[in-house]
Amino acid sequence: MKLTILGCYSATPRAFTNPTSQVLDIKNHLFLIDCGEGTQVQLRKHKIKFARIKQVFISHLHGDHFFGLPGLISTFVLLGREAPLHIYGPKGIKEGITLLLKLGNSWTNFPLVFHELSSASSELIYEDDKVEVHTIPLEHRVYTNGYLFREKPGERKLKIEEVLKYDIDRCYYRNIKNGRDVQLDNGEWIPNEKLTADPPKPKSYAFCSDTVYKPDIIPQIEKADVLYHESTFLEEHKDLATKTKHSTAKQAAEIALQAKVGTLVLGHYSIRYGDLEAFRREAQTVFPEVELADDGKVFEF
């Protein structure tokens, strides 16, 4: 599971900081999460292949999470994309994007499939044989969702020396990996646990931005391997966090602690603070495993 931070600063793009966008590489899928202005340039800088992006998840329709999407779609058009692009985001995103394309008399030569969200409860919005994606309803100044990306349990691992010992035909391997017992030619049953080991534990990633401190997301993100949680402010500006419906680094750490996640990644920093380490220090008073997102940073979990 590889997470590339394209941008992780709040509010406005600046000369050397970018608004929210990240790419999650999980089970050979490349999910784009949020798409602030300049995302396509960041994708190019980090040599991420545009064609590998098939799904885009937009948390909410504030510009710093969304204004890069019309340009990215236009670029897909210019690049001659043919594969469908699936866009998940709040109700209204379809109207916004299609109006901008229409104004430029531009149409996509690939299917642009909108999945508009409006539920206040968590929903399973994407699923294939390897991964599922659920919304995490957040609370911000506009309708907002985080997203939980969860690997499905993989096949059990063959203990190949055991399988060879019993001289089991290859055609049974698939069934064995799926947990079945095997009957030998002599009628003897070999239980599956003799032939296989547990698959690697499925990984999960929870993206939570933007949101006020919202403990009721905890059951949903419990034991996630990685939680990205916004920390726009430090505790000294807790009043501002409450007012603007953002979180502090300490609040993000409290969520991480209660949800027993593996690693907390902080981001969506207000640019009023010179030193990002202050976010880490504050969070670590509550929860030890803290990483700081930064533009261009790549995490492998």
Binding site per annotation, positions for Zn(2+): 60, 62, 64-65, 140, 210, 268
User: Is 202 a binder of a second copy (CB under 8 A)?
Assistant: no
User: Is 15 a binder of a second copy (CB under 8 A)?
Assistant: yes
Tokens 């402010």, located at residue:
233
Site string for a second copy, 108-147 (x = CB under 8 A): ---------------------------------xx-----
d(CA 50, CA 75): 9
CB 232, min distance to a second copy, A = 13
Residue count, binding to a second copy (CB under 8 A): 37
Site string for a second copy, 81-100 (x = CB under 8 A): ---------x-xx-xx--xx
Q: Which of 34, 64, 169, 294 is catalytic?
A: 64
Stretch that binds a second copy, among 35-43, 145-153, 236-244, 275-283 (CB under 8 A): 35-43
CB 285 within 8 A of CB 272: no
CB 176 within 8 A of CB 158: yes
d(CA 135, CA 195): 37
Residue 65 identity (one-letter amino acid): H
Helix ranges (DSSP H) in 147-236: 160-165, 173-177, 192-195, 218-221
Listed in sequence order, the residues at least 6 apart from 245 whose beta carbon sits closer than 8 Å to its beta carbon are 139, 140, 141, 210, 211, 212
User: Is 62 a binder of a second copy (CB under 8 A)?
Assistant: yes
H or E stretch covering 39: helix 39-45
64 belongs to the catalytic site: yes
User: Contact residues for a second copy (CB under 8 A)?
Assistant: 11-15, 37-38, 40-41, 44-45, 60-64, 66-68, 70-71, 74-75, 78, 90, 92-93, 95-96, 99-100, 103-106, 141-142
